[in-house]
Structure 1
Amino acid sequence: MASDKPTPKLVFADKAGNIYDHPELDMLVRRGDQLGLPRPDELTPLPPESELFLLPGRSALGFDPESGEVEEMEELAVAAFVSPGHTVSGVTAYKARPGAPVLPLFAYAAVGFAAGRFYVCAKRVDQDQRQVFSSVKKDRITKGARMLMSRFPKNRLLGHLSNCALNYCCPAARNLALGRFEAPLPTSQACNARCVGCLSLQDESSGFPSTQNRITFRPTPQEVAEVMAVHSEREPRPILSFGQGCEGEPLTEAPLLAEATRLYRAGGGKGTVNVNTNGSRPEVVEELKAAGFDSMRVSMVSARKPLYEAYTRPQGYAFEQVAETVARAKQAGLWVSLNFLYHPGVSDTEDELEALGALIEGSRADFVQLRNLNLDPDVYKGVVTDSGVGYGASMGLAHFMKRLRKRCPWLKFGYFNPYLVDGKMPGSEPAAG
């Protein structure tokens, strides 16, 4: 049966930033170290609130259907940063020229053009609208942030987050200003990992800047609890999350997290209290559960130890502690999500499927958040190569999800931290077995 999806043409850009579609060459995608045509089931019209990037120092590559050859253009490659809730299943195809600068910390989805619209290689994995702001007037965010600063002038954490909302357009901070969805609770200045793609701290040798500034003070438990309380006043289904892009590792501040949550719960605080973590400190899991935590999200680029450690570069812990944290969190009664930093051609291979499936099956983790790995694909290529893991054949995002779910039938997929009722997502069935 013929597909009803169009065949998108190559999109490229001139040096002035003008974007064109090629009349003859088809769109190509990159999966790991392989080039190929997009699969019909992964083509999605460019979602609202996505952005197009031209890639400096990188030639656009297209496929000539007449000759069956890959053609290199003199013009620049173009990629899409797809709006949150979508997972990239194919990276844009390009050839890096000598001296090409390192790309900033974004995900670079393959993009083409057909029938009057742009298409990307991505799949929507979460219908949640928490990072969609197209219908929100900017003055609402400004008024909300200023109200918080006026109401709590001595709360440094609210001042920090209001600044993030007003000057850095942080989606989490903007939602706090609006009093909706999930509130961010950054606390930690330090981190016990040196992730290659760290959003909040990079040294000059990396070749790219961090996209967010790390918090410069340690808030008190009272300041944190105050943020939690004010957010729950306005949001009837509040999610309150430690572990944000503007901080280090929150579990290094476990006593602070526990005390703030105890204060919040003692005052009648409701909702889902969550921590986003690298999972480095399994010994603090029970303390957080006893303080009133509901969920834990553990980030990993891979469930394979060599690749995990090559990217994360842990300081004073290893992948074994991460796996232990996942298991102990479930045993303690927390809802456990894996923040799986997805990159096609690495994440959707047989070896990764086996490793991730074994971790989930053994721990009974509840949820996989299919977040995109925000990193220059060639920088990640170096990480993959240095790890000794190497690339594998890409089975595709949809097939990867289907097979993982078949092995772990209780498993759910998404992109955002869920709001929980009695320890479960509303409408979710109990775990099998």
Structure 2
Amino acid sequence: MAQHIQPHMVMADSQGNIYDDPDLLMVCRRGAQWGVPRPDELMPLPEESELFLLPGRQAVGLDPESGEIVTSPDVAVAAFAAPAHTLSAHPAYVSADDAPLLPLFAYGAVGFARGRFYICARRVDDDQRQQFRKVPRARIEKNVRELLRRFPKNRLVRHILQNCVMRYDCPAARNFALGRFEAPLPSSRSCNARCVGCISEQDKDSPVAVTPQCRLAFVPTPDELVEVMRFHQSRETVCPVYSFGQGCEGDPLMNPDLLVESVRRFRAEGGHGTVNCNTNASRPEAVARLAEAGFSSIRVSLNSSRPDLYQRYYRPHGYDFADVRRSMEIARRDGLWVSLNLLFFPGITDSEAELASLVELVTHCGVSMIQWRNLNIDPEWYLRLMAGLDDSPSMGLGAFMKRLHRACPWLRFGYFNPYVGDRAQLTAPLPGEAQVPQVHCQDLPDPAGDGTDA
């Protein structure tokens, strides 16, 4: 049904009222390409999504009669998709010279048709773990108060509940308060990458004025971590997941001794479930220790599988992309489920060059899963950061996923860290033992998806 819909341009007036223009069509952007949405990427705006006004940026639409781009005097609007969805295109707009830098969120193209908003996106995970529309806020706050009384001396519990739940409304922290799904285990104050879009701490000379959350202000003890894990296991008895490496901390591999001791104790006391580490994977020797201590999985964050693009965004200190690859190889050889937290950026990630590079990485390093999340960053800022590194055309998220899975059929796609038990059953190839498939550019679809380009 969605393929027959042609959404109108959406914009906002000076009072913040959002409305559509029935005479102009929605235009979206993938890198340097502007065009109408692809027929296979339009979907109704999911519940629990948000709409953002983009200050200093004028909305643009397509005149279907003339085929020309029309710039509106009103403000451009973007959508932030609910968890489990990946945006496949950015909004198209014209920025003023003095347009402020956009905060660190993901910005999706949005239009309006048949009485509802539509976005360019795809649902990539059926898990409902971060849906809260049926959970009363009062229930979460009641649980917070009860847990604070129950664990008055545990600083980690206090941080998760008072800071992450009550201050930032973190979905993982809310789930801990509810006793379900995945428990967050922030543990590290420091990091050896200086990510341009770090959401918890920026350099003093960064143009980012405010981060979405603040960095953890203490290092928890093994006692505090094990107590959180034990308690989560007592409530989530079916598929407990425990994850080091949260948005409110640096990288957990900066303190491997703490992780190893905590998880060894948890396992020795009969602790079960999936123990996961979200990481930049900069320290191969630390990853080997995690596997030996009883971890089940690691999730490695990447903006790109190409070293030059990776370097520009992550700005690593004391490691390089070869270390990241080596960490994944060790993790797979030692029996860990390896996921990539692929920070998808329309127009750069879904390119021919990225596909070939990603197929090689996934095959050679034994990656089991891709988690499709968007890079939270001002789109024009990121494009300037990557200038000169990638000008190949976008094939679109749908085609990119299809071709990647065709080349690497063992890959699982999703959004959240999966429950894989105490120890994962792996089908991904062992490092270096599988031949890397070739990908061919003749599979590229029409850039606009309908034989036209705006």
1:285 is paired with a residue of what secondary structure? helix
Q: Taking structure 1 as reference, are residues 120 and 378 closer, same or farther at Cα in structure 2, changes over 3 Å only?
A: same
Distance of 1:352 and 1:208 partners within structure 2 = 31
Equivalent residue for 2:331, pick from 319, 329, 332: 329
**TM-score, scaled relative to structure 2:** 0.92
Contact 1:357–1:404 (CA<8 Å) still a contact in 2?
A: yes
Moved more, 201-210 or 366-375: 201-210
Aligned partner of residue 276 in structure 1, secondary structure: strand
Conserved in 2, the CA contact under 8 Å of 1:222 and 1:263? no
**Relative to structure 1, is the Cα distance of residues 77 and 3 closer, same or farther in structure 2, using a 3 angstrom cutoff?**
closer
CA shift at 1:103, angstroms?
Answer: 0.3
Partners of 1:141 and 1:166 within 8 A in 2: no
1:399 and 2:399 correspond: yes
Amino acid at match of 1:391: D
Amino acid at match of 2:218: F
Indicate conservation of the 8 Å contact 2:272/2:422, yes or no: no
Alpha-carbon separation, structure 1, partners of 2:102 and 2:8: 24
Letter in 2 for 1:175: N
User: Structure 1, residues 370-417: CA drift from partner, whole Å, max 9, x if none?
Assistant: 1100000011012111xx412320101111011111111101110000
CA contact (8 A) 2:184 2:243 kept: yes
CA distance in 2, matches of 1:171, 1:348: 28
3-state SS of paired residue (2:70): strand
Matched, 1:98 2:97: yes
**Residue 24 in structure 1 maps to residue 20 in structure 2:** no
Equivalent AA in structure 1 for residue 220 of structure 2: P
Answering whether residue 321 of structure 2 is matched by residue 319 of structure 1, we say yes
Describe the superposition over 1:175-225 as per-residue Cα deviations: whole angstroms up to 9, x where unpaired. Answer: 110000000000100010000000100245323311111100011011001
Is the 1:285–1:332 Cα contact (8 Å) retained in structure 2? no
Structure 1 position 290, deviation (Å): 1.2
Correspondence for 2:215: 214
Kindly indicate whether residue 370 of structure 2 is the aligned counterpart of residue 371 of structure 1: no
Q: Closer, same or farther in 2 for the Cα pair 1:157/1:422, shift >3 Å?
A: closer
Deviation at 1:3, TM superposition (A): 7.2
Indicate if the aligned counterparts of 1:27 and 1:111 stay in contact, CA closer than 8 A. yes
**Preserved contact between residue 275 and residue 422 of structure 2 (Cα < 8 Å):** no
> Following TM superposition, by how much is the alpha carbon of 1:421 offset from its aligned partner in structure 2, in angstroms?
3.1
Partner of 2:417: 417
Rounded Cα–Cα distance in structure 1 between residues aligned with 2:242 and 2:103: 29
In 2, Cα distance between the equivalents of 1:265 and 1:243?
19
Shift in Å at residue 107 of structure 1?
Answer: 0.6
Question: For residues 289 and 207 of structure 1, what CA distance do their matches in structure 2 show?
Answer: 36
Which residue of structure 2 aligns with residue 172 of structure 1? Answer: 172
User: What letter is aligned with 2:48?
Assistant: E
- Matched to 1:369, the amino acid is Q
Q: Which residue in the other structure is 1:12 paired with? A: 11
Whole-Å separation in 1 of the counterparts to 2:102 and 2:361: 32
Q: How does 1:172-211 map to 2 (within 5 A)?
A: 172-204=172-204, 205-211=206-212
Q: Structure 2 residue aligned with 1:304, among 303, 306, 309?
A: 306
Is 1:60 the counterpart of 2:59? The answer is yes
SS in 1 for 2:175: helix
User: Residue 107 of structure 2 corresponds to which residue in structure 1?
Assistant: 108
Deviations 1:332-371 (A, max 9, x none): 1000000000011000000000111100011121000011
Deviates more, 1:142-151 or 1:209-218: 142-151
Report the aligned-residue RMSD: 1.4
Q: 1:291 to 1:420 in 2, by over 3 A?
A: same
Letter in 1 for 2:353: D
Task: Tell me the number of residue pairs that the alignment of Structure 1 and Structure 2 aligns.
Answer: 427
The reply on whether 1:232 has 2:233 as its aligned counterpart is yes
Q: TM-score, normalised by structure 1?
A: 0.96
Match of 1:117 in 2: 116
Counterparts of 1:373 and 1:49, CA distance in 2: 19
Task: Give per-residue Cα distances to partners, 1:74-107, cap 9 Å, x unaligned.
Answer: 0010000000100110101111111100001111
Q: Secondary structure at the match of 2:255?
A: helix
Task: Spell out, residue by residue over 1:246-286, the C-alpha distance to the aligned partner (whole angstroms, 9 max, x if none).
Answer: 00010001110111101111111111000000010011122
**d(CA) in 2 for partners of 1:168 and 1:49?**
16
Amino acid aligned to 2:41: E
Where in structure 2 are the equivalents of 1:332-347 lying within 5 Å? 332-347=334-349
Separation of aligned partners in 1, 2:428 and 2:318: 34
Q: Deviations 1:313-339 (Å, cap 9, x if unpaired)?
A: 001101111111111110110000000
- Runs (5+) with no aligned partner, structure 2: 435-454
Q: Which amino acid aligns with 1:407?
A: A
- 1:297–1:336 Cα contact (<8 Å) kept: yes
Residues 348 and 140 of structure 1: is their aligned pair in 2 closer, same or farther, counting only changes over 3 Å?
A: same
Structure 1 residue runs without a partner (length 5+): none
Q: 1:354 aligns with which of 356, 377, 383?
A: 356
Deviates more, 1:80-89 or 1:280-289: 280-289
Looking at structure 2, the residues matched to 176 and 5 of structure 1 have their Cα atoms a distance apart, in angstroms, of 42
SS at match of 2:4: coil
Alpha-carbon distance, 1:142 to partner: 1.0
Q: What is the CA–CA distance in structure 2 between the aligned matches of 1:3 and 1:20, rounded to whole Å?
A: 20
Q: Letter of the aligned partner of 1:266 in structure 2?
A: A
CA distance in 1, matches of 2:109, 2:3: 20
Instruction: State the 1:5 CA deviation.
Output: 2.8
* SS of residue in 2 equivalent to 1:321: helix
